[in-house]
Amino acid sequence: MDYQLQLLIVMISYMSLLILWGLYQGRKVKTDSDYAIAGRDLPGWVAALSERATGESSWALLGLPGAAYATGLIETWTAIGCVAGIVTTWALLAWRLRDEAEKYQINTFTEYIAKRHGEVGKWIRIVGSATIVFFFFFYVGAQFLGGGKTLHTMFGLDPKLGMLITAAVIVPYTIYGGFRSVVYTDVIQAIVMIATLIIGPIVGFIYLGNHPELFAQSIPEALAKAGPEYNSFLHGLKGFSAGIVVMGGFSWFFGYLGGQPQLSMRFMAIKNTKQAKQARNIGIAWTVIAYIGALCLGWIGLAIFGPTGLEDQEFVMPAVLLEIFPPAIAALLITGAIAAMISTADSLLILSATELSENLIKPAFMKDKEMSGKKGLKTSRIITALLAVVALGLAYISPSKLIFTLVSYVWAGIGGTFSIVILFTLFWKRFHGKAAVATIIAGMLFTIIWISTGLEKVVTSRLLTFFVAGGVAILATYFLPSGKKENLQG
């Protein structure tokens, strides 16, 4: 059977089961809280696997292996930064955010910050939600576009048709089941992803040892033969330049510290403290194993194909799997990777929809009783559907360069900025609402200006935004009047 036909059969089967599973979970959604945050009743293992699938997906399966293939050992700094950030978040922040979400009975990320800083809660909802919705709105469009491009690469489909197929997979269960359906479909993705990142490297090492005709028969040999820059953790740089490289890779650390709303919502949805500990252990173990596996897949690709053997570095993972596995097994693992990338859109879509509905639209047009009842649930589903349609339309009409430029702001502008807001809210009692609003505005403006002026090429905004936002937060805390007495619990 032709490889593409096998891949197509496996993909259709996998996607069909995914849709059915998501719709099944959606049947359990009865209230607005179920739709927005799964009733804050997630088992620890579900929250952990969903958070990891949402946080990594195409990055762990395509981006990081591709970077390791293209640059060698230097990509280890990126992995160290990401792993350190994820481990720190699970160990220090996840259980605290879970407890806070229960204490304040929140349904969205911004609602938590608003309730902790009640004096200007309304403005935090408006500024915070508008910022998240705007940038994640484009992010959803980018995911549709990425799905279209992937299907074009794999099957030769028109990218616009591929975008429609991508939307057709994720939109029905996301509209119907909201956060609950998204989380439980993520679990399947995380299992397939970790299986790929464990089995792939193990079989790859065996394959290298049994094929002397390859570029190299081991990773050390491949790195040495590819050139001195591949075999160096600093790419041969010294002094200040070496420091910039190390900090550029490690800078991913700062965006993980509670500032990615789509990840923090998984922490907030965990059922209880015992489940939070279980989630922490699973999340950390998954991360360490996955990042080691992703780096190894990239370096195994270097040993198999050599440094110039692939046109597109980000397809090193599929290329390696097709080389070392029979077509049927490779098709299953690659399909899981593609599905994980495509389904990233569902987490972003439901986050944007709930921020928009719970913090902006419903408070303006509905009474409290209506918001939490059937009318509120119906409104949430309508807003999710409309957001999906507009995001898909945006992906059709906008140049891909525009979309991906805007997406590049997300990690720094939202991750770095909101990490400061979350950290200070949790750990500094003096931090107040007006300072939180000033921090959000300053972090986003700095990121936009820094990237737009080309200074990102000098020093990454992933590093600078965190410290600029932190500086603004400290100054605003001391120099802006806090207004009414705030709730300083927690």
Domains and CATH numbers, the chain: 3-399 (1.20.1730.10)
Query: In Å, how far are 196, 236, 443 from 221, measured between CA atoms?
Result: 24, 18, 44
Paired with 270 in beta bridges are: 42
Closest Cα to residue 180, out of 265, 99, 105? Answer: 265
Under the banding of pLDDT at 50, 70 and 90, the label for residue 382 is very high
Query: In Å, how far are 184, 295, 315, 427 from 190, measured between CA atoms?
Result: 10, 17, 20, 31
**Among 98-102, 310-314, 328-332, 371-375, the least confident range:** 371-375
**Residue 460 falls in which region: left (phi positive, over 0), alpha (psi -120 to 50) or beta:** beta
**Size of the chain, expressed as the number of residues it contains:** 490
Under the banding of pLDDT at 50, 70 and 90, the label for residue 405 is low
Please provide residue 270's backbone torsions phi and psi, each rounded to the nearest 5 degrees: -70, 145
pLDDT value of residue 488 = 40
CA–CA gap between residue 335 and residue 451 (Å, rounded): 34
**Among 187-201, 244-258, 281-295, the least confident range:** 244-258
pLDDT value of residue 489 = 39
What is the rounded average pLDDT of the residues 126-135? 91
Check pLDDT > 50 for residue 141. yes
Name, in order, each residue with C-beta under 8 angstroms of 120's C-beta and a sequence gap of 6 or more. Answer: 433, 434, 436, 437, 483
pLDDT value of residue 373 = 64
Check pLDDT > 50 for residue 420. yes
CA–CA gap between residue 3 and residue 54 (Å, rounded): 29
The DSSP annotation for 59-119 comes to IIIIIHHHHHHHHGGGGHHHHHHHHHHHHHIIIIIHHHHHHHHHHHT-SSHHHHHHHHTGG
Cα torsion 295, 298, 301, 307: sign: negative
pLDDT value of residue 396 = 83
Please provide residue 42's backbone torsions phi and psi, each rounded to the nearest 5 degrees: -80, 135
**Residue 428 falls in which region: left (phi positive, over 0), alpha (psi -120 to 50) or beta:** beta
Strands (DSSP E) along 424-472, which ranges? none
Nearest 5°: the CA angle 471, 472, 476 is 120
Higher pLDDT, 418 or 134: 418
Report the chain's mean pLDDT, rounded to a whole number: 88
State the Cα torsion 345-350-351-357 to the nearest 10°: 140
Could you tell me the two tokens for 19?
């849709």
Check pLDDT > 80 for residue 403. no
Higher pLDDT, 325 or 364: 325
pLDDT tens readout for residues 17-44: 989 999 999 999 998 899 999 999 999 9
